[in-house]
Amino acid sequence: MYCASVFSLVWIFINGNSAGEKTFQANGSEGDFETSKATCSQAGGLLASPRNSAENTAIHQIVVRHNKKAFIGINDIQTEGTFKYLSGEAIRYSNWAAGEPNNGGGTEDCVEIYPDGRWNDRSCNEKRLIICEF
Ligand code: 291
Ligand code: CA
């Protein structure tokens, strides 16, 4: 195995941004929901989409490291109150903050993850840390 791959695996292990088959990465850049989705897709990945608590924890750690909230690949753009992955599949795992989702102002269809790992529905037009999964 090449040195770079070994270092990458060590880095992922130390920083804990891997869960199961997935690795999660951020480079500090920010964007609204559409920009975040496009950025990850251009990089050959997907906007980070936690499907269980291990994945959520890995994403949470990146949010803490950068001290910036991030969008996740979950929204209720299509049907208010029904949160789905980018694939269109309905979510089964969630980690909402108390009182969320509340569709504040009637315009909150995207989901941000807070520095405590909990989720809040929020306007898709906010700019957030871009975290991709590969
Ligand atoms: C409150 C809560 C959240 C909501 C958020 C936004 C703020 O959190 O009601 O559910 O998503 O407000 O409505 O939007 C703007 N424009 O400030 C405040 C943050 C901790
Ligand atoms: Ca909200």
ipTM field: 0.93
The full set of domain ranges for the chain reads 18-133
Which residue's CA is minimally distant from atom 13 of ligand 1? 104
The class of domain 18-133 in CATH terms is alpha beta
What pLDDT tens digit does each residue of the chain (134 aa) get? 667 777 666 666 555 588 888 999 999 999 999 999 999 999 999 999 999 999 999 999 999 999 999 999 999 999 999 999 999 999 999 999 999 999 999 999 999 999 999 999 999 999 999 999 99
Within 13 Å of residue 91, how many CA atoms lie on the same side as its CB?
22
What is 56-97 written as a DSSP string? HHHHHHHHHHHT--EEEEEE-SSSTT--EETTSPBP----BP
Does any ligand 1 atom lie closer than 6 A to the CB of residue 120?
yes
Q: How far is the CA of 106 from the centre of ligand 2 (A)?
A: 9
- C-alpha–C-alpha distance, residues 87 and 41, integer Å: 13
